Amino acid sequence: MTISTEDPVPVARAGPVASAAAPERDETSPTDLLLPLAVLGAAGVLAGYGYVRRTRRARTRTTPGMVSVRPPAPTADEFERQARTALVVADDSVRTSREELAFAEALSGAEAVAPFARALRAAETELAAAFAIRRRYEQGVPQDEVARRQALVGVVGRCAEAGRRLDAEAPGFDQLRALERGAGEALEIAEGRFRELAGRTGGAALTLGGLGERFAASVVKPVTGYLEQAKDRLVFATGHLNACRQADDAAARERAARHLRAAEGAIAQADVLVSGVERLAAQVREAAGLVPAALTGAEAEIAAAREAGPADVPAGELRARIARADGVLRAVREELTGGPYDPVGALRHIARAVEPLGVGRAGVIGAAVRLVARGAVGAAEDFVDTHRGAVGAEARTLLAEAARLLAVGGPGVALADQLARQARDLAERDVRAHGTPYSGDPVTGLGGAVLGGILLAEEPDGGPPASFGGPETRGRRGLRPGRPPGPDPA
């Protein structure tokens, strides 16, 4: 399970609606043909169970009553909750599997992990199709009520298939890692990444301080608090690395594997947070170097619009657009000479100012749009990655669409920037509403580990660490019945 207020994920397979959303295939697989039947079968089982319960209640009532021969169908709200929950669980499963796969590859090599990498790519494809269906649904497509419910079933089915792909490979993946036979080299790799990250965290702090001194405060806003969170993850990792080594020395292999996976998850998220600061610094430096050229390019586009603007824009409207663009460029120049400024924000203003002129987005303006969009999508990805225990389906759907548009390129890149920023805002709203779980727990870093989805919050000590796999297997390293939570015995 994941930290969410939504309903548990339904185990259903994709139907025809979902299949239409996925990339075209060369041939129809037997799985695709069976998916609608699986969805209907699961729905029938649940409906039948409910019918039997209602019938028994009716028979034991003292007052006469009518028993409906048909159980009520799920409501639109129930379909909605199932689809949202399915997206969150599938997305979490993919993100966690990607993280652990990197640790496995560091030890065993790319060739050894190739089958699991293929399964992950297949799951990513199914998840992308699910997000695409959900995105169109939110835009009102399709309009027919029955078709809209089928679309939600398609979302659930695609997510179920993504999870199935990962669940099917989890046993083989565990055999490759062989953590239950001894942490050994896997522990050494985790400790090596830990030490490297500890050094980078100090350097990133200096970098962040330099950005704050040179540029406007808005520059560092996307990564505010990241280094503190990275340190929190590293403190959490420290405790579990030590516990893993103690358990491994005591031949408590299962407990050692549990501690190692918790540490690996924390290290991976610390890496995301530190890398986010480093990437922002590089982006700001690149943007600062591009601003003068972007101003020149924007002036050229304004001149071209004056000479021959879009044919479908009335002359009066075109003059108004040109005037607004001129005003934006003047404001940007004033920012450049008036003290600390935001280079990324300046590029965003320039690009948006000339966009309505419709004279083309090639050259330096196009480069500015791509730079800004990459930064926005990357920042939103980092936030969702490290707060996945609280972020809901709405933010993830917008982020998936932003990432798709950025990958496709062309005119949609500007929209990718907008959607990514909206996704980040929604994700932050979700985190504020969720709060910090386990904040009063004496185990240092536990709250951040649960908020980040490193632990699944199913047990008193924060729950099992999330592992490679889908909904059925990702929590397999939980405590066995009768085993108390807490540190390993000395």
- 128-143 burial: b if 16+ Cβ within 10 Å, else e: bbbbbbbbebeeeeee
Query: 425 CB contacts (<8 Å, ≥6 apart)?
Result: none
Strand partners, 465: 455
Tokens encoding 215: 């540029």
Residues 185 and 191: their CA atoms lie apart, in Å, by: 10
Tokens encoding 315: 């002359």
Sequential pLDDT tens for the chain (490 residues): 343 444 443 333 333 333 333 443 344 343 443 344 344 344 443 343 343 344 344 434 444 444 455 667 788 899 999 999 999 999 999 999 999 999 999 999 999 999 999 999 999 999 999 999 999 999 999 999 999 999 999 999 999 999 999 999 999 999 999 998 999 999 999 999 999 999 999 999 999 999 999 999 999 999 999 999 999 999 999 999 999 999 999 999 999 999 999 999 999 999 999 999 999 999 999 999 999 999 999 999 999 999 887 778 899 999 999 999 999 999 999 999 999 999 999 999 999 999 999 866 668 999 999 999 999 999 999 999 999 999 999 999 999 999 999 999 998 999 999 999 999 999 999 999 998 766 655 457 999 999 999 999 887 778 999 999 999 999 999 876 545 444 443 3
Whole-number pLDDT of residue 459: 79
Tokens 């009553």 -> residue = 65
SS3 454: coil
Whole-number pLDDT of residue 360: 60
Helix (H), strand (E) counts: the chain? 14, 0
Backbone angles phi, psi at 388, to 5 degrees: -65, -20
pTM assigned to the model: 0.83
Residues 355-386 pLDDT 10s: 999 866 668 999 999 999 999 999 999 999 99
Nearest to 402 by CA among 375, 432, 428: 375
Residues 417 and 425: their CA atoms lie apart, in Å, by: 13
